[in-house]
Amino acid sequence: MLHEAALAPAATAVFTAVLTEGPLSRVALARRLDLSSAAVTKGARPLIELGYLEELAATERTGPGAGRPASPLAVRADREFFVGVKITGDELIGVVCDLRAEIRASAHRPLPTPDVDQVLASLASLVDELLDGDFRARTRRLGLAVSGDVDYSTGLVRYSPFLGWRDVPLRSRAEQVIGLTVTVENDVKALTTAEHWFGEGVGAESFALVTVGAGIGCGLVVGGRLVSGSHGVAGEIGHIAVDANGPDCHCGGRGCVEALAGASAIVRQARAVAGRPELTLPDAVALARAGDAAVGAVFDRAGDAIGAGIAAVANLVGPARIVVSGEGLSAYDLFEPRIRESFQRQAFGAAADCPLSIRPLPFEQWARGAATVSIKALVAS
């Protein structure tokens, strides 16, 4: 909640719209939100008084030219700050974001062991460093992003393979240590939220984000809401079967996308075709770039698998757009064309029109995702 006293629904709607879709006049907001302009005026007033919104000077005219110029409402981005931290198996990456999720500061900590107490201690020191400067006084919230099975509503990390955590009540633990209001979310979902609120998914009723790296993950927004899955499973694009005769996957399936295009799968295949058991992923990338046909074919096959997986998403839920990001592994641009090709081939009918953005996102963007979740928690509660 932006204020102790609950705000009217219209106020929340106005703030969310201005936050995600940029400065808008009251009349424009009324049209977009299907409200009367009176309701927008009333909803916006307390937000202005609290310092969350401000009125901009009238800009250029629109339409025929006559009439009172609009005074667009804009978010005062520095009204409040948010810390976001992505917890990986060997590092904490932290950022401070403003209300518009712009990164204002960043820092990180190595993580020798994934011991919970030690992580919390590192986290405290990281947050302390990040908030130095003018941030501390205007920061109330911390978002954490963890890979694995996370229960957002309770802040419980049910199972995180990379960290080896089971049933860690991370939210309450972190709130005790840090003294900020904490949100905990799955990392892919956090990144998806960031893109949905502040990135390429803005305004999309449905939207998908696919991450390619060690694992292949997918965050899904349908009907404006993040999909969670009734049994806690959703977005497991990595374990869609795309090749009935493909390699066995560690999940027990066969020919999963991840078994063809996950980082370890690529290394394994590259080692086999190159006959060099010590080969690393960078080696494989170098060989492929140098024109090694056999290793290149491994990447081609991986690209085909990813494209087919993405096409499955497009065919099933029909998102307005799909972002494919590579966890900072820029090497994946190597098979970007093959992803597009395979997607086009397997997307059915108009699903092929779904725009695909393929671009690596640095780790800081994952931390920003965590901050975004805490922004969303502030606004929509």
Q: Which of 243, 283, 292, 364 binds a second copy (CB under 8 A)?
A: 243
With a CB cutoff of 8 Å and minimum separation 6, the contacts of 354 are 314, 318, 319, 320, 321, 322, 347
Q: Which of 29, 144, 190, 237 binds a second copy (CB under 8 A)?
A: 237
Stretch that binds DNA, among 63-71, 201-209, 251-259, 304-312 (CB under 7 A): 63-71
Stretch that binds DNA, among 23-31, 185-193, 242-250, 340-348 (CB under 7 A): 23-31
d(CA 209, CA 323): 5
Q: How far apart are the first and last CA of the chain?
A: 5
Stretch that binds DNA, among 28-36, 270-278, 330-338, 345-353 (CB under 7 A): 28-36
Q: What is the distance of C-alpha 64 from the center of its chain?
A: 41
d(CA 161, CA 232): 16
Least distance CB 117 / a second copy (angstroms): 28
Reference 172, options 147, 194, 142; nearest CA is: 142
Compare residues 70 and 273 and give the one whose CB is closer to DNA. 70
d(CA 352, CA 24): 33
Please report, for residues 44, 175, 297, the alpha-carbon distance to residue 1 in angstroms, rounded to integers and kept in the order given. 15, 18, 52
Q: Give yes or no for residue 261 binding a second copy (CB under 8 A).
A: no
Stretch that binds DNA, among 8-16, 153-161, 206-214, 260-268 (CB under 7 A): 8-16
Q: Give yes or no for residue 252 binding a second copy (CB under 8 A).
A: yes
Q: Give yes or no for residue 218 binding a second copy (CB under 8 A).
A: yes
DSSP code for 8: P
Q: Give yes or no for residue 41 binding DNA (CB under 7 A).
A: yes
Stretch that binds a second copy, among 82-90, 172-180, 215-223, 275-283 (CB under 8 A): 215-223
d(CA 242, CA 265): 15
Q: Which tokens belong to 350?
A: 């108009």
Q: Name which of a second copy, DNA, none residue 340 binds, using a CB cut-off of 5 to 8 Å depending on partner kind.
A: none
> Hey, CA dihedral for 198, 201, 207, 209, is it positive or negative?
negative
Please report, as a single letter, which amino acid is at residue 260: L
Compare residues 24 and 310 and give the one whose CB is closer to a second copy. 310
d(CA 151, CA 149): 7
State the binding string over 317-336 for a second copy (x if CB under 8 A, else -).
xxxxx---------------
Q: Give yes or no for residue 27 binding DNA (CB under 7 A).
A: yes
Q: Give yes or no for residue 189 binding a second copy (CB under 8 A).
A: no
Q: Which of 40, 146, 256, 373 binds a second copy (CB under 8 A)?
A: 256
Q: What does R_g of the chain's alpha carbons equal in angstroms?
A: 23
Q: Name which of DNA, a second copy, none residue 20 binds, using a CB cut-off of 5 to 8 Å depending on partner kind.
A: none
Least distance CB 1 / DNA (angstroms): 12
Least distance CB 352 / a second copy (angstroms): 9
The partner residues of 84 in beta bridges, in order of sequence, read 95, 143
DSSP secondary structure string for all residues of 92-137: EEEEEEETT--EEEEEEEE-S---HHHHHHHHHHHHHHHHTTTTGG
Q: Which of 18, 20, 43, 310 binds DNA (CB under 7 A)?
A: 43
State the binding string over 127-166 for DNA (x if CB under 7 A, else -).
----------------------------------------
Q: Give yes or no for residue 154 binding a second copy (CB under 8 A).
A: no
Contact 2, 379 (CB under 8 A): yes
d(CA 85, CA 190): 11
Q: Give yes or no for residue 6 binding DNA (CB under 7 A).
A: yes
Q: Name which of a second copy, DNA, none residue 8 binds, using a CB cut-off of 5 to 8 Å depending on partner kind.
A: DNA
d(CA 74, CA 21): 10
Residues that bind DNA (CB under 7 A): 6-11, 25-28, 34-39, 41-44, 58, 61-72
Residues that bind a second copy (CB under 8 A): 204-206, 218, 220, 222-223, 225, 227-246, 251-256, 304-305, 308, 311-321, 345-346, 348-351, 353-354
